[in-house]
Every structure is written in structure tokens, then in C-alpha cells.
Structure 1
């Protein structure tokens, strides 16, 4: 019975650490880019876009579709980088297992 109580305390401690890590991810920023860096997007660990930068040379009024594609590519790159960050940070608790819905 005592072992069960110890195990429950360990689980509660791990849950608290996971919650703390998830909250800390909001302050971690990753970047994605496209077009050799003419469009850059920054996102936090909660998959919120926090900044988009577009260099003037990326803007061609006659080719708006290209700029749209660059922004889309940079956003997707940033979000992929967030997934990698979250996987690395939360993987400490799961031993590298991807548990759907956990984070």
C-alpha cells in the first residue's frame, strides 16, 4: 500500500512538471522562413504567431500570389518548428513516445 502512495506522489509530481513545462512553452519562440529569409514568421510554443516580417524586396504588386505563397510557407515552417520544440520539451516526460492528445 505504501508503494502505491509513493507511485501516486510521483505521478502527481510528474503532472505538475508537465504543466509547468507546457506553460513555459508559451515564452519560447521559434522562427520559420521562406524565400531565403525575405519572409520570416515567429511563433511561440503554443502555436500562436507572434511576428511576421516581410522584406521590401518580397513585395511585387504584380505578383501578390508569390507573396501569399511565401507567407504560407514561412508560417508552416514556423509551426513545424513549434512541433519539434514541443516534442523535444515534452518528450522528457514520455521517453520519446508520441502520445496523442497529451500535448
Structure 2
């Protein structure tokens, strides 16, 4: 090791490292809050104008399914398709919500290696 180089970290690098750790801590704290918020969210998906409704938490956990009496008059295969379509709608909305929340959480932080 050359004299005066230490471990290769100058004061500027130490400052950058400290800032990176602070940003990471901010994201970690924000992620914890986001997780709590997502648990409380209720995201509804539906199919065929509301014949079937599915509710997921923001964490995509199933909460509720409502099948209208009109839907129950249909064949079991059609009801299954309606339930699946409502689940896909809720899932799509849920993933979009999660993506938006994560972008808000990490946006502007310029974390190394995050590509944002």
C-alpha cells in the first residue's frame, strides 16, 4: 500500500458512502411505512359490470369476493371466468398501485445501482 492512501477512501468517498447509507435508511423506513399502508388498502376488481367483485389488500391478499345473484344464474364455467376476470382486474390495479408507491418512495433518491 502506498503511503497516505489508507484504504483508498478519501474524505469525498466517505461522504458519498455516508450519504448512500442515509438514503438507504430513508428507503428502508419508507418501505416499512409503505408495507403498513398496503396492508390497510382495499383494491377492488370487477368483471362484467360488477357481476363479480374481488377485493385484495395492497399486498395482494384476498379479502372478499362478491358474486351477484345474476351471475349465479349462469353456468359454472362462466361464473369461474367472471371470478378469474375480477381477480385479474384487482391484481392489475394492485400491482400498479404498488409500483406507483415504490416510485414515490425511491424517486429522486438516486440510489447507486437502482437505475432510477
Query: TM-score category by the smaller chain?
Result: 0.7 to 0.9
Match of 1:70 among 82, 100, 109: 82
Match of 1:39 in 2: 52
Aligned residues: 95
**SS state at 2:60 partner:** coil
Q: TM-score, normalised by structure 1?
A: 0.81
**Structure 2, gaps ≥5 residues long:** 1-10, 109-116
Question: Does residue 9 of the first structure (1) align with residue 22 of the second (2)?
Answer: yes
CA–CA distance in 1 between the matches of 2:23 and 2:81?
48
Q: After TM superposition, what 4+ stretches of structure 1 lie above 3 angstroms from structure 2?
A: none
Displacement after TM superposition at 1:72 (Å): 0.6
Question: Does residue 91 of the first structure (1) align with residue 103 of the second (2)?
Answer: yes
CA–CA distance in 1 between the matches of 2:105 and 2:60?
20
Deviations 1:36-83 (A, max 9, x none): 10100010111111010111011126x111111000100111011100
CA–CA distance in 2 between the matches of 1:6 and 1:94?
15
Distance 1:95 1:5, change over 3 A: closer
Q: Which of these two proteins has the greater Rg computed from alpha carbons?
A: 2
Q: CA RMSD in A?
A: 1.9
